[in-house]
Homo-oligomer: A and B are copies of this chain.
């Protein structure tokens, strides 16, 4: 792939030399995906210079690889006529995405300048929620009737598909009212006798999406059936558009990001993922505070536990200095367990059926690792403080702590899944706090009942 840093340096030099024809030539040489990567990494003022010096077809191709913000920014930097022409070269779904991200009056200006038919079709797409099939699909696909022959279809493709922006993966068979009857793959079309009618070669068990389906469901369907493109129909089974696998890539990445964020206690419910990372600080705080607040309450319970044992800490202050050690390792091994189970449930590698088996498995792992780390801690502590009993109490607490942590870390995601709550919500914050509280109770009780009695 491209060496971005070297490329940018080269382009920067050409811009500094003000050598327009060389700049055009160099930019024209790159694949539009490479151009997009370059654009993401140069300064805004350089971006404008470059954007004005690529031809409009390439500009449209490149825009598709860029983030919505950058798309809107770049189009706003050039004159409206050129921008409209570039937008009209985008596939319908991409055009709708760009226009949907603009201010209303801005997008209206462009829509008025676009070719009438294109503009009407894009306007329809804009009426759908952008997280549903309607908002993701493109209305351009190859449709034929079921009484046509392979030969007729092939010549029809020659006409229809030459139209700009047509995606060509499958041929969709519809009746006069656009009801979806069947699907023919290009491969099937190309290898069937040319006088065969479409009705005889089409598949009628169609995997299809409904126009109101949400994007997480759409991603699941694509991941499961692994088609390149899927048809989208309305309530009456009328074909409205298609969604292609490259649209789904972005959804999958977005869903994964959401899963990872949720696991670390970043609430994605009311705030868009992009905004949390790069948007207003207020939005970021809104996403981050809720789980922190729950942690605060949980940790105050830990403080309360500590308070109950204040007498012990007064008599044996050295006990306090081992608290972070126990909390740290318990939290750590617990997080490992949660991560494994949440991810396994998310990829489908784990199902509820195996819950008991996995809780047992993690408990065994917790016991074994806990024994090892418990012994290690006991020996180090004993050697350092020259106090066998203290060593034993810290070591046994470590063992119990780590085992409890694995069990809670495994049990909780399964339990949430059982009650149809997103298991990712379990993770990090709440469980770490729970483990903190339980660990503290175990340790301080042991100190109180074993150590104080002996001393």
Contacts and interface: CB of A to CB of B under 8 A. Distances in A.
Interface of A: 1, 31, 33, 37, 40-41, 65, 67, 154, 157-158, 161-162, 166, 168, 186-187, 190-191, 205, 207, 217, 220-221, 223-226, 228, 245-246, 249, 252-253, 256-257, 260-261, 263-266, 274, 276-278, 281, 284-285, 288-289, 291-292, 295-296, 298-300, 302-303, 306-307, 309-310, 313-314, 317-318, 320-325, 327-329, 331-333, 335-336, 338-340, 343-344, 347-351, 353, 361, 364-365, 368-369, 372-373, 376-377, 380, 428-429, 432-433, 436, 440
21 contacts: A1-B220, A33-B224, A41-B353, A158-B190, A158-B191, A186-B190, A260-B343, A274-B349, A288-B333, A288-B336, A292-B336, A295-B332, A299-B328, A302-B325, A302-B328, A303-B324, A313-B317, A320-B320, A328-B433, A331-B432, A332-B429
B292 A373 contact: yes
Given A302-B325, A433-B328, A226 B246 contact: yes
A187 B168 contact: yes
Nearest to A226: B246
Given A161-B187, A433-B328, A281 B364 contact: yes
B347 A257 contact: yes
| List of 6 A-B pairs having minimum Cβ-Cβ separation, nearest first | A306-B321, A320-B320, A264-B339, A168-B187, A299-B328, A299-B325
Contacts of A353: 41
Nearest to A29: B205
Given A191-B157, A191-B162, A351-B41, A320 B306 contact: yes
A351 to B, nearest CB: 6
Chain B CB within 10 Å, residue with most, of A245, A260, A303, A327: A303
Contacts of A168: 186-187, 190
A324 B327 contact: yes
Given A37-B224, A266-B336, 6 more contacts: A261-B339, A261-B343, A274-B349, A276-B340, A289-B369, A324-B327
